[in-house]
Amino acid sequence: MKIEHTSKNDLVKILEMEKDFENQEFIEPYNLERHKEVIQKRDEVHLSIFDENSKLIGFIILAGLTSENKSIEFKRIVISKKGKGYGTKAIEFIKQKCFQEYNCNRLWLDVFDFNKRAIHVYKNLGFNKEGVLRECIKTNQGFKNLVIMSILESEYKVSTEL
């Protein structure tokens, strides 16, 4: 598996991944222009995930890279090949990149409270639940809750020393 900066050539496939039935209910899809913005912004990074055959299988978006508070938002991860460990490996990569390369103090994310699979993975990878934003996202099915989770640099360092 390899992770590298997303090229504009990857965006058509990324849009397809976001629209895939298995991913739709867990994210609010971006349009092509928003993905292009992320690629060009200094404060955000758009990364593509490739399998061992160099096939695009997912992507990650981080935001807040220039935050004075040293707090980076793990905005999005989408993996098309589920159940093979790619997501876990990608999150480990992101933690390392954020704490070692970007020198952040806090890496945080939000996740729908019904996405039990993702919450389980995040917990296993050292993220702690901070709270719930109740009914903060309006969808066609009604309002949804978001769980806020984070990992601090000190917690990351302890986990890498084990």
> What confidence category does residue 23 fall into, taking pLDDT thresholds of 50, 70 and 90?
low
- Looking at residue 162, its pLDDT comes to 62
> For 57-105, what is each residue's pLDDT tens digit?
999 999 999 999 999 999 999 999 888 999 999 999 999 999 999 999 9
Whether pTM exceeds 0.85: yes
Q: Which domains does the chain have, with CATH numbers?
A: 2-161 (3.40.630.30)
d(CA 116, CA 42): 32
Q: What's the first-to-final CA gap in the chain, in angstroms?
A: 24
Specify the DSSP class assigned to residue 131: E
Contact 145, 135 (CB under 8 A): yes
Q: Taking all residues of the chain, what is their mean pLDDT, rounded to a whole number?
A: 93
Residues in the chain, how many?
162
Contact 90, 111 (CB under 8 A): no
